[in-house]
Amino acid sequence: MKFVIEQSVFSQGLGRVQGVVSSRPAIPVVGHFLVVAQGQHVVITATDMEQSITIRLPARVEVEGQGTIPAKKLTQIVRSLPNNDITVSFDDAQKCSIACGKSRSRLQGLAAESFPLERGELAGRDLTFRSGQFRRMLDKISYACAASDERAVLNGLLLSILDGTFTAAATDGRRLALMETAVDGGAGLDGETILPSKAVSELCKMLPEDGEVRMILGAARAIFSTGECTLRTKLLEGAYPNFRLVVPSGFTRQIMIPRQELEQAISRVAIILESNNPSIKFQIESGLVNVVSADNADDCCETVSASYEGDPTTIAFNPNYLLEALKRLECNAITLRFNDKVSPTGIFGDEGFLYVIMPMRS
């Protein structure tokens, strides 16, 4: 096998797939890329046995064939090379040589046949989204996934379709973030899929702003593909908590606050907080909200103008939970909807977005 590829194309492509490769691979070949040269393209695949990403890059293929190359080393070498044509070739002993200008590196590959490549088609619900829209959807909620909870499903992100509404939701049991949008396609699409959070972060890296993403959601696996990239992932099994029960059926009060001002106010007043008291208060009055923090002898207060009609009230939150949501939104103003200072509070902003958070009690 032998092909010639532009350094910038190669480097960018490797950057998009190498995140999947485990730093401590279970078997050696999983620490390698599978490289297939065919026609006008090379196809590079990385896997950690749970997820795999395949990317197709334009190249001048001189000899077709396939081989594996140590992933981390190749990525670093290619990244450090000058922006020139790189010639990659394999000899009979599966040794891969990477030549660029006066530089030549040789990396020992492994048998391409031993690479655990997932092949074949997947039967499942088939949808197509605009790639940029789907990426932003994931980005606005994925931080709310749990990191290492014993309830494994919380470590993932839910994609649910019900009655023509597509919902992506994430919760760690303390707050819930969801995005909704309408889909066409009828009842055949209804169902729930739980994506592992690693797949979500790889998806966010992989999805381009333009173009479309086609997803096939099967029972145990899912495939997401754009023009040049394909992500295959195992799904998390189990029942996701019924997030619809967590959202209060109605709110009695609401306040509309400029998003950026609020975000800045919260991050400023939170500076003085130590980790044993991560709480800030919203003192809500007519036309304004005072964002207040106090820790031992220190206190901060910042006033943000807001539109509110109703009795003055105070409600406390963990500032980190608020900031995580606020900084990812795009809208100019958010709406905080609540009933009282102890029951779940909703934050609305971008179209289709909902964030539910429990106020703190003291």
Residue closer to other proteins by CB (options 196, 359) is 359
Roughly what angle, to the nearest 10 degrees, separates helices 131-141 and 197-206? 140
Q: Is 23 in the site for other proteins (CB under 8 A)?
A: no
- Are 66 and 37 contacting, i.e. CB atoms less than 8 angstroms apart? yes
Compute the least distance from the CB of residue 151 to other proteins, in Å: 6
State which of residues 184, 274, 309, 311 lies at the interface with other proteins (CB under 8 A).
Answer: 274
Q: By CB under 8 A, which span of 50-58, 122-130, 170-178, 190-198 interacts with other proteins?
A: 170-178
- The rounded distance, in Å, linking the Cα atoms of 259 and 287 is 15
Is the separation of the CB atoms in 58 and 9 below 8 Å?
yes
Q: Which of 102, 120, 123, 148 binds other proteins (CB under 8 A)?
A: 148
Question: Does 139 interact with other proteins (rule: CB under 8 A)?
Answer: no
CB 203 within 8 A of CB 135: yes
* Cβ at position 148, least distance to other proteins in Å: 5
Q: How far is the CB of 147 from other proteins (least distance, A)?
A: 6
Which residue's CB is nearer to other proteins, number 26 or number 342? 342
* The binder of other proteins chosen from 19, 185, 208, 241 (CB under 8 A): 241
Residue 361 near other proteins by CB under 8 A: yes
Does 173 participate in binding other proteins (rule CB under 8 A)? yes
Q: Report helix, strand or coil for 112.
A: helix
- DSSP-assigned states of every residue in 288-356: EEEEEEEETTEEEEEEEE-EE-S--EEEEE-HHHHHHHHTT---SEEEEEESSSSS-EEEE-STTEEEE
- Map residues 283-302 to x or -, x wherever contact with other proteins holds by CB under 8 A: -------------xx-----
* Residue 344 engages other proteins in binding (rule: CB under 8 A): yes
Q: How far apart are CA 353 and CA 53, in angstroms?
A: 29
Range 297-336, binding other proteins (CB under 8 A): 297, 316, 318
Residues 305, 296: contact at Cβ < 8 Å? Answer: no
Specify whether the CB–CB gap between 143 and 324 falls below 8 A.
yes
Under rule CB under 8 A, how many of the chain's residues touch other proteins? 33
Which of 76, 320 has the CB closer to other proteins?
320
Question: How far apart are the C-alpha atoms of 157 and 312, rounded to whole Å?
Answer: 37
Structure tokens at 40: 């006008």
Is 175 one of the binding residues for other proteins (CB under 8 A)?
A: yes
Q: Does residue 360 bind other proteins (CB under 8 A)? A: yes
Q: How far apart are CA 227 and CA 16, in angstroms?
A: 14
Among 92, 121, 150, 311, binds other proteins (CB under 8 A): 150
The answer for 164, left when phi > 0, alpha when psi is -120 to 50, beta otherwise, is left
Q: What is the DSSP letter of 39?
A: T
Q: Which one of the spans 8-16, 57-65, 82-90, 172-180 is the region binding other proteins (CB under 8 A)?
A: 172-180
Interface residue with other proteins, options 13, 156, 196, 359 (CB under 8 A): 359
Q: In what order do the strands lie in the sheet with 175-182?
A: 191-196, 156-162, 165-171, 175-182, 353-357, 345-348, 333-338, 253-258, 307-308
Among 146, 178, 266, 329, binds other proteins (CB under 8 A): 146
Residue 9 as a binder of other proteins (CB under 8 A): the answer is: no
Q: Which range in 167-175, 178-186, 213-221, 256-264 contacts other proteins by CB under 8 A?
A: 167-175
Binding site for other proteins (CB under 8 A): 146-151, 171-176, 241, 246, 274-279, 296-297, 316, 318, 342, 344, 356-362
